[in-house]
Structure 1
Amino acid sequence: MTASSDVDATDETELDDADADERAADPDATGRPAEPLLEVDSLTKSFGGIDALNGVTFDVTAGMLTGLIGPNGAGKSTTFNVISGVFPPDSGTVRFGGEDVTGLAPNETASRGLVRTFQMAREFRNMTVLENLMVAPKAQVGETAWRSVLPGARGAVSDQEEEVFERAWSMLEFFDIDHLALENAGNLSGGQRKLLELARALMLDPEMLLLDEPFAGVNPSLESKLLERIETLRDRGQTFLLVEHDMDLIMEHCERVIVMHQGRTLVTGTPEEVQSQEEVVEAYLGGNVA
C-alpha cells in the first residue's frame, strides 16, 4: 500500500470514529433525545407505617415502550399513583420533560402531557363510546348561556365540536371500535373497555402514557389488537410505561424493563439483561434479595 493510501485509510477511520462520537454526543441522530422524558428519583411513600415505596429511582426514554414489572406488592401501582399525582410522595422527585411535577394533581400532570390509565377501566357507563371520547380533550369551549345569545359565539363552539368529533371518529377507527360508537360504554366487554380507555387517553394528546395492566381481563384476540395499536403508536414516537404481569409479553415487546421488589428499584436494563440477573429470579421465586 502506498503512503497516500495509508493516509486515506487513516483519514477514513478517523472520520468513522468522529461520526460515532457525533452520534453518541447527539442522540437525535439515532432518534433518541439527550435527556429522559420521565425521571423518577428516590420516591418514598408510606401508608400507616408500612413502606410502599422505598427510594424508587428510574427514568424512561422518549419514544420507547418500557415495562415496569415486579412481584405482587412490589409497589408498581403505588409508583404509578405517585407519578400521576393520585398520591403525593413522602419524599423524592418526579420530573417530566425536564419540569418538576412532583405532587401535582392528576389533571395538572395530564395537562402537561403525562396521562395514565387504570387496571379497571373507568369509562362513563351511561354515555356512548363516541361521547366518552369527545368529552376527553382539554380546553374545550363548551356551552354557556352567553354563547347562545351573542352573535358569532355559537360558531366557535360548533367549529370546535366538529374538530373534536372528527378526531374522536378517527380514534374509533384506529382502534377498530367505530361500530360501537353509539353503544353505551357500560355495555362493552372488558377488552372493549380497555380499547376505549386507551383511545380516550390519547384524545388528551399525551406525550407519555402510563398503562396500568392494560391487558388484564382481555381475551387473546383483543389483547393482540391492543398490543398492535400500542406498538404502532410507539413507532410513531409515543412513549409508554407499561405495568404488566405477563412476563413473556414484556420481554418480547418492551425495549427496556424496570424491575421492582419490596418498594424499590431492583434492576433496569434490556429484556436480555434483566432476564440474566439472578436477583430478579430470586425476587419472583421469593428468595432473599440483597
Structure 2
Amino acid sequence: MSETDESAAGESPPVEETAADADGETAADVDEGASPTAGDRSVDGSSPDADLTALVEDDPDTHAGDDDGRYAPLEVEGLRKEFGGITAVDDVSFDVEEGTLTGLIGPNGAGKSTTFNLITGMLDPTEGTVRFNGEDITGLQPHEIANRGLARTFQIARELEEMTVLENMMLAPKGQIGESLWRSIMPVTRGSVREQETEQLERVWEVLDFFEIDHLADEYAGNLSGGQRKLLEMARALLTDPDVLLLDEPFAGVNPTLEKRLLEHIHELRERGYTFLIVEHDMDLIMNNCERVIVMHQGRILKDGTPAEIKESEEVIEAYLGGEV
C-alpha cells in the first residue's frame, strides 16, 4: 500500500503568503471537534506577539511532562490489517509516552499511514488492540476517538474551502450546545449558547494568534496556499483538546522557514505536556527532533529506539536507509 498521499492545490489562487509561508501545495487537516485546552490547560492570548511560552498555560496535574512518573497514554498491541490477500500491517506493537515527541519512519508501503488509520478509527483492524489513556478504543468511530483527546492530521487538506479560516476554526470545539436547534431558539437557553460561542471565539482568536495566522481569519480556506493550510491544520489540531496528536507528514511541501516555525510550535507544546507521534520522510528532521524513533518495514516494526540507536542499526541501514543515515 502506498504511504504517500497526493494532494492538489485549490482552484482559487492562494492569497499572498508571508515570509514564513510555504510554496508547496500539499496540505493536511484534522478531525474536528474540541476546545484548545486539555483539562485545565488554557491558551493565553494576551498578545499576538507574545512568546510561545506565554501562550500555553501548563497544567502540572494533568501533564507533568517529567521523566519521573511518565505513562504511555497510547498503547498499540498486535495490530494487523489485511486487504484481501495483502497484509499491510503485521503484528505492530508500541506505545507512546506522555510528553514525548516520537517519530514513525519507513519507506513508502511500510504501513505508517495505515497504522495511523487503525489507531484513529479510519480503519478497523483485522486483529489487535489500541488503548488510549487505559481505555480500549479499538473500532471506535474517528469522532469518538477525537473526543477522547486523540487527534490527528492528514496528508490531504480537508478544510471546508467555501468557509473562512475563522469559520473552519469555530467548527472544531466539541460540546457546542448551539448545535442543538431547540437550544439555539429557546429563550431560556439562547443566553447560554451566546455565552459559550463568545468564549469559544476568544479561544479561537488566541490560537490564531499563537500560529500567527489571525490576519487570514476572513480568508476563504480554499484560497490558502499550501503553507498557510499547514498552519491552519495545526491550529485546528490544538482546538481539538488533544492529549496526543498524530501528525501525518506535517512538513511535506513547506519551505525551510515554515518548517522551522512549525517545529518551534511543536517543541513548545511538547514542553507543556502535549504528546506527539509524527510520520515524516525527512530523516534529518526526525533524527534531530525526536527523542524516540520507530522504524517500520514491510508492515512490521523493524527497530524501536533512540535516534542514536537507529543510526547504528545495521538492519535499518540495510533495509531502509540505503547504507547511510
Shared fold (TM-score greater than 0.5)?
A: yes
Q: What is the 5 A alignment of 1:11-90? A: 30-90=66-126
How far apart, in 2, do the equivalents of 1:90 and 1:219 lie?
39
- Offset, 1:202: 1.2
Root mean square deviation of aligned Cα:
1.6
SS in 1 for 2:250: coil
Quote the residue 1:25 is aligned against: none
What one-letter code is carried by the residue in structure 1 that aligns with 2:280?
A: E
**Structure with bigger gyration radius:** 1
Q: Distance in 2 between matches of 1:283 and 1:75?
A: 15
Label 1:221 to 1:110 Cα distance change in 2 as closer, same or farther (>3 A).
Answer: same
| Number of aligned residue pairs | 260
Structure 1 position 187 matched with structure 2 position 223: yes
Detail structure 1 runs of 4+ shifted over 4 Å in the superposition: none
Displacement after TM superposition at 1:150 (Å): 3.0
Q: 1:264 aligns with which of 279, 300, 324?
A: 300
Task: Give a deviation string over 1:162-197, Cα, whole Å, max 9, x none.
Answer: 111011000000001011011001111111101101
Q: Which amino acid aligns with 1:228?
A: E
How is 1:205-224 mapped onto 2 (pairs within 5 angstroms)?
A: 205-224=241-260
Change (3 A) 1:142 1:48: same
Which structure shows the higher helix fraction?
1
Q: Which has the higher contact order (CA 8 A, sep 6+)?
A: 2
**Amino acid across the alignment from 2:98:** A
TM-score, with normalisation over the residues of structure 2?
0.77
| Partner residue in 2 for 1:140 | 176
Unaligned ranges ≥5, structure 1: 1-27
Q: 2:234 aligns with which of 198, 213, 226?
A: 198
Partner SS for 1:86: coil
Residues 32, 249 of structure 1: alpha-carbon distance in 2 compared, 3 angstrom cutoff: farther
Cα separation, partners in 2 of 1:54 and 1:221, compared to 1, 3 Å = same
Aligned-partner residue type, residue 130 of structure 2: V
Q: Distance in 2 between matches of 1:227 and 1:286?
A: 27
Shift in Å, 1:35: 3.0
Give how far 1:204 is off: 1.3
Report percent identity of matched pairs: 66
Instruction: Give the counterpart letter for 1:126 in structure 2.
Output: E
8 Å contact from structure 2 (residues 65, 99) kept in 1:
no
8 Å CA contact 1:70–1:261 kept in 2: the answer is yes
Give the TM-score, by structure 1 length: 0.86
Contact 2:65 2:272 in 1 (8 A): no
State the SS of the aligned residue for 2:296: strand
Whether 2:135 is the aligned partner of 1:99: answer yes
The superposition leaves residues 60-108 of structure 1 with CA deviations (integer Å, 9 ceiling, x where unpaired) of 0000010000111100000000000000100011111111111111011
Structure 2: runs of 5+ lacking an equivalent? 1-63
* 1:100-249 mapped onto 2 (5 Å cutoff): 100-142=136-178, 144-147=180-183, 149-249=185-285
